[in-house]
Amino acid sequence: MVFSINNFFDENNKKSKIADFQDLDHIDGISISTVSAGLYDHKRDDLVLFYFRDGASHASVFTQSKIVSENIKWNKNIKSQKLSALLINTRNANALTGIDGFNSLKVLSNDLSSHLTEKQKIDEENPKEIKSNEILFACTGTIGERFPLNEIKNKIPDLIKNIKYTQNKLIWMKAAMGIITTDSRPKLSMSECKIGSENIKVYGIAKGSGMIYPNMATTLGFVFTDARLPTSILKKILKESIKTTFNAISCDGDTSTNDMVSIISTNKANNPIIKDIKDSRLKHFKKSIYDVLLNLAKRVASDGEGASKFITITCKNAKSEDDAKNVSFSIANSPLVKTAFAGEDPNWGRIAMSIGKSNAQINVKKLSIFIGPYKIFFNGSIHKDYEEKIVSEYMKNESLVVTVDIGLGNKEFTAYTMDLTKKYIEINSDYRS
């Protein structure tokens, strides 16, 4: 798919999601660069570098798949509390590439750290040595293909040359577009808050369209902030926030080898020093992180491969949290439910089927099913006012809501998904061509 930035600033997009992106600007301590390494047959940026010239604190969560990419192995081995760079490549997952894939990252980290150290000598009054163990890697694309080491390595000088110390909405857009694969649009989000009296920025970008299902994040997601916070605090906030954001989405029920979500903080803000996650001054920051992660997660789900519908599924009043989650995902992952929604058919029997196979505790006499605001099945029987024609009309909307009331407790979980269309098959049948 060929992208042009201009496409995202036309009148149609100004009336849609692009409006949310207009105010992303500068975060102190972050530098961005994008280039094309020629990893695709068509011209597009496929390498994105985030450079933290004074270092940054960071926290990440990774896929729970038993088969992980070489970059995930690399990132898990990083013990440094300081992060100097994040390098993202598309088109190649660097998964099932063995020792050659891992050693390729060693080569890139050494080369990149050397170039950035030289840049420090040129640009900084007190230059620092950039170390190879201060670099994170994110890879996305086809699994099991040779990692394009030389193509990427040869473009590192251009990446360094193109570094922008000051960002604007265009640079953020280029970065978001540079990390996508089968996505139909870039995914960006922002929030601002206060820690004490200090203004704090929270910006995020993500990619993800297929192979989307927890655990963990089922995509690549990166949240950047200038908050002055230690890694220990960031880890706790991310772990808590991920549960109902990126771990609440599903496009096709498949978990990738490469999933990761990171929070990276430049520590440039002059907020009060905080050492305790329970500190009340973190309240608004936690919400900003959560809001950005949830916004990005929803964008991933709504942009599922071939999607025509964005579907929110809530199970409430379940006996346990696990029951609520199992019911929501059982519905979200059902091909029969997803194809019914694609066909704008209110076939609520498929929803009931999905509830039944979820292994959750169910008492049919207390079960209720809603599609949008309409009661379909209520307290164990078809609702007396149910009219399929009215619900069929509702199904024509691009954004749909399903609510299931178990009636056995007070636990709740919301999952986000998309419908299953012929376009999904088309995209994935010729993914590598």
**So what's the pLDDT on residue 213?**
65
Which residue, 32, 61, 20, 54, is CA-closest to 226?
Answer: 54
pLDDT for 125-178, tens place per residue?
A: 999 999 999 999 999 999 999 999 999 999 999 999 999 999 999 999 999 999
55 pLDDT higher than 70:
yes
- DSSP conformation class of 378: E
pLDDT for 276-290, tens place per residue?
A: 999 999 999 999 999
Q: Which tokens sit at 307?
A: 């999607």
pTM: 0.91
387 pLDDT higher than 80:
yes
Q: What angle do CA 20, 22, 27 make, to 5 degrees?
A: 105
Alpha carbons 79 and 164: distance in angstroms, whole number:
28
Residues 6+ apart with CB under 8 A from 365: 379, 380
**So what's the pLDDT on residue 255?**
74
Q: What angle do CA 383, 336, 329 make, to 5 degrees?
A: 80
Alpha carbons 187 and 207: distance in angstroms, whole number:
6
294 pLDDT higher than 90:
yes
**So what's the pLDDT on residue 16?**
41
* N-terminal to C-terminal alpha carbon distance within the chain: 12
**Contact in structure between 58 and 29 (CB atoms under 8 Å):** no
Q: What angle do CA 150, 58, 289 make, to 5 degrees?
A: 120
**So what's the pLDDT on residue 19?**
43
Alpha carbons 286 and 102: distance in angstroms, whole number:
35
**So what's the pLDDT on residue 18?**
35
Torsion of CA 175, 65, 214, 237, to 10 degrees: -70
- What are residue 374's phi and psi, to 5 degrees? -95, 130
211 pLDDT higher than 60:
no
Residue 217: pLDDT band with limits 50, 70, 90? very low
Q: Count of CB atoms within 10 A of residue 379's CB?
A: 13
Residue with token string 């970065």? 175
Show the domains of the chain with their CATH numbers.
5-302 (3.60.70.12), 310-429 (3.10.20.340)
Q: What is the mean pLDDT of residues 324-345?
A: 96
Alpha carbons 324 and 410: distance in angstroms, whole number:
10
Which residue of the set 90, 182, 218, 421 is catalytic? 218
**Pairing between β-strand 368-371 and β-strand 260-265 as defined by DSSP bridges:** unpaired
Q: Which tokens sit at 20?
A: 């949310």
Q: What is the mean pLDDT of residues 11-35?
A: 71
27 pLDDT higher than 70:
yes
- Known catalytic residue: 218? yes
**So what's the pLDDT on residue 199?**
98
For residue 353, is the peptide bond before it cis, meaning its omega torsion is within 30 degrees of 0? no
Mean pLDDT (the chain) is 91
Q: How far is CA 15 from CA 11, 181, 368, in A?
A: 6, 24, 36
Q: What is the mean pLDDT of residues 378-397?
A: 96
Side chain identity at residue 191, one-letter code: S
Q: How far is CA 426 from CA 182, 305, 309, 415, 421, in A?
A: 12, 9, 17, 25, 9
389 pLDDT higher than 50:
yes
**So what's the pLDDT on residue 432?**
57
- DSSP conformation class of 130: P
pLDDT for 84-120, tens place per residue?
A: 999 999 999 999 999 999 999 999 999 999 999 999 9
**So what's the pLDDT on residue 175?**
97
**So what's the pLDDT on residue 5?**
56
433 pLDDT higher than 70:
no
Q: Classify the phi-psi angles of 8: left when phi > 0, otherwise alpha if psi is within -120 to 50, otherwise beta.
A: alpha
